[in-house]
Structure 1
């Protein structure tokens, strides 16, 4: 997966643009989160593919180069899907439920794959690879380059680097798990930084509920000591609103908390 993705991002720009994102879409090759003409863009390119459910795939966006890349993506994503289901089962138990509950709450798992390419930058202190944000879905499984740091998480008001491990996936809690748990499990604010000398590629798999799933704190996560913190949201609407704004940390999750306070 790493070798094929590196080969794809090293192709001439005209070949990569054969899979360019259509207007007002996030599928394919390009640059996400462009929300205004005067926006300072992040220092990165990406390829985003919807993997599951298979009926929703846009195969015209799946690269034919390098040879066999589609099969590699399929094999990698199938195994990540297996791992994500095991994680959701364990999280259900940790949250005091039967192991099948979180999977059933999704109705049908939406799984997307975002391959991020960060080229070297001569002034890394002036740009970010990806601006601070939290992920809108349930969990994110991330594979990093083995020997290039770049991911940082917000902790105690500062930024802490997440050192890559060659045999590990990083698991981030997303906004939906934060809402279901009524804030017990916080979605992690994170960003990607650049460096002068090395390109970096990361591979983020997003696990999300089906678009029409209504998400709100689970009943057993709310009591007199833990009042309800979040308004009910429909996941598809929540996701689209998140994508229509410039990534700015966790402001979008705070918005749903404020709605509760003023109701």
Structure 2
């Protein structure tokens, strides 16, 4: 694996320079990037789910959740119960962290054999187009998997802020997994139990401004290898786009809402009823952007395969049984590339 330059430092040293290794270099892709940058026609239709109604057992909201997972694979959650102050403190502390000098951030640099810590995604192949972003990646739950030496020590109180935010996400994650168990026709705690040990990892992505936003991607198109992902966006910068009916649709931030998407694990379990969705991040010329993705994953030893009752309803099993740890490891060996990885789990592939 090749190391990748720190994008924030590239911009600091020369805001006008974009190294060739970051350029998409494909005119058709560039045209698509520019033509969809301002498309909001579909974005107003992205489903909004009220978690307080789900928590109170609203059948109507449960039906909305089922439809959102089936038709979009993405939705925004409002009234989720995490205090606005907790969300804001997380944003403020993270901004301060990324403003620190590089040598300070490098104290928790990702080791070559680990994905935790501060750094960039490694280039897995020579000549690979690089993403215009830096990241802080931490395993949060179960707490025994944390590596305290790779947690930030500055700014002061950042660890406690991450803890408070992640604890709020944990509550949302459990509530959503219970509701999704219901929409899939199972006992409320079925999905939670199937994880054996629910793993929660946090990836904070920092997207610096880019002098050529139409020629680079902050994050290449991909689907997540998670069960679900819970994401906090900036309120005032749109950067996340999802693929819907062949179009890239911007996910316009709703203040204090969280974005949730279906991951590959949920697609396999539901035998394709719920589909993991391809998404990407674009950059802007004038503003940096930070996003906060909490990945919810099963234990590495869990064997994931379609639920029998869903296979019966659909008439055929579309996915093989995969051991989650193996599935995750093999996905990390390749460059983010659309939904190519889940194809390996399909029967007949």
TM-score bucket (shorter structure)? over 0.9
Choose the corresponding residue for 1:70, options 128, 149, 159. 159
Q: In the aligned structure 2, how far is the partner of 1:50 from the partner of 1:34?
A: 21
Aligned partner of residue 292 in structure 2, secondary structure: strand
1:33, 1:245 within 8 Å by CA — same for their partners in 2?
Answer: no
Once the two structures are TM-superposed, the CA of residue 38 in structure 1 deviates from its matched residue by 2.3
For 1:84, the equivalent position in structure 2 comes to: 173
Q: TM-score, normalised to structure 2's length?
A: 0.73
For 2:199, the equivalent position in structure 1 comes to: 110
Give CA-to-partner distance per residue, 1:106-151, whole Å, 9 cap, x none: 0000100000000000001111000000000100000000100000
How many residue pairs were aligned?
260
- The reply on whether 1:42 has 2:131 as its aligned counterpart is yes
Q: In the aligned structure 2, how far is the partner of 1:10 from the partner of 1:120?
A: 14
Question: After TM superposition, where is structure 1 displaced by more than 3 Å over at least 4 residues in a row?
Answer: none
Match runs of 1:1-263 below 5 Å: 1-223=90-312, 225-257=314-346, 260-261=347-348
Larger-Rg structure: 2
For 2:30, the equivalent position in structure 1 comes to: none
How well do the aligned residues superpose, as a CA RMSD in angstroms? 1.0
Aligned partner of residue 171 in structure 1, secondary structure: strand
Aligned partner of residue 345 in structure 2, secondary structure: helix
**Unaligned regions of 5+ residues in structure 2, if any?**
1-89
Once the two structures are TM-superposed, the CA of residue 33 in structure 1 deviates from its matched residue by 4.4
1:64, 1:70 within 8 Å by CA — same for their partners in 2?
Answer: yes
Q: TM-score, normalised to structure 1's length?
A: 0.97
Aligned partner of residue 348 in structure 2, secondary structure: helix
Bigger helix fraction: 2
Give CA-to-partner distance per residue, 1:45-103, whole Å, 9 cap, x none: 00000001101100111111100000000111011001100000000000000101000
